[in-house]
Amino acid sequence: MAAKKSTKKAKSAGADPAEAARRKVVTAAMKLAAVQGWQDTTMADITDEAGLGLADLRRQFASKTAILAGLIRLADDAVLQGSGPDMAAEPVRDRLFDVIMRRLDALAPYRDGIAAVARDLPRDPPAMACLAAGPMRRSLQWMLEAARIQPWGLLAPLQLKGLGLVYLSVLRVWLRDEGEDLAHTMATLDKALGRVDSILDSLRRGPRRFRRDDEEEAGTEET
């Protein structure tokens, strides 16, 4: 009886079979993309590489775009699993730095394939629009949650756009960074986050500065 309980516990502690199957497909797709390009990689190629049938693949991913969304979700999972409440005590800049670098670490096994996708995806505007409006937007929202950053209310779209621009600029550098310590990538990220800090400081100072200018102008008119 104890042996049965132990076996059951071991199974429950193992990886989710469905999640493992999705990861297998994503890995196969990125491996093929790195060799033959994303545009020339077909769903049939991916099933052969993953050792699946087309019907099995369709149940997991209905299209190549869906596979890319699956890759985004895998990175999201890695980011969220490494986030805890203790992050809230750190400066915002450090939190964002940690979240973005953790995401890149999760994507590292697929970097060559991602580079191929980055080259070929602009030829497929509908797929780009689908990813940007859905999976990537949700991913940015989860990155902010992982960094314990509150939405800016009506300015939340601007907040997401800013984070997206920072992430994409760093991603481009990361794809070409051959250094083992990713020094160039981290320097680029640090610089980008520094610009964000400057913009936020300007926004926070803006209303007071404008009020001071108005008061000075009013004083000049009175004299």
What is the tens place of the pLDDT at every residue in 147-168?
998 888 888 888 899 999 999 9
| Among the ranges given (58-67, 102-111, 139-148, 150-159), the one the predictor scored with the smallest mean pLDDT | 150-159
What's the predicted TM-score (pTM) here? 0.80
Place of tokens 């497909």: 25
Query: Rounded distance, CA 167 to CA 185, Å?
Result: 11
Q: Which pLDDT score, from 0 to 100, does residue 199 have? A: 64
Domains of the chain: 17-205 (1.10.357.10)
Query: Rounded distance, CA 121 to CA 113, Å?
Result: 12
Whether 84 has a pLDDT exceeding 70, the answer reads yes
Whether 219 has a pLDDT exceeding 90, the answer reads no
Query: Rounded distance, CA 197 to CA 191, Å?
Result: 10
Q: Which pLDDT score, from 0 to 100, does residue 201 have? A: 59
Q: Residue type for 169, please?
A: S
Higher pLDDT, 179 or 198: 179
Structural tokens at position 193: 């986050």
Higher pLDDT, 156 or 101: 101
- For residue 90, give every residue at least 6 positions away whose Cβ sits within 8 Å of its Cβ, in sequence order, or none: 98
Q: Which pLDDT score, from 0 to 100, does residue 19 have? A: 87
The answer to whether 121 and 128 have CB atoms below 8 angstroms apart is: yes
The answer to whether 86 and 135 have CB atoms below 8 angstroms apart is: no
The answer to whether 25 and 61 have CB atoms below 8 angstroms apart is: yes
Q: Report the b/e string of 111-125 with b at 16+ CB within 10 A.
A: eebbbbbeebbeebe
The answer to whether 107 and 164 have CB atoms below 8 angstroms apart is: no
Q: Which of 134, 128, 17 is nearest to 76 (CA)?
A: 134
The mean pLDDT of 189-196, rounded to a whole number, is 88
- State the chain's mean pLDDT as an integer: 85
| Cα 46-47-50 angle, rounded to 5 deg | 85
The answer to whether 169 and 191 have CB atoms below 8 angstroms apart is: no
Q: Which pLDDT score, from 0 to 100, does residue 3 have? A: 42
Query: Rounded distance, CA 72 to CA 197, Å?
Result: 27
Structural tokens at position 75: 């990175």
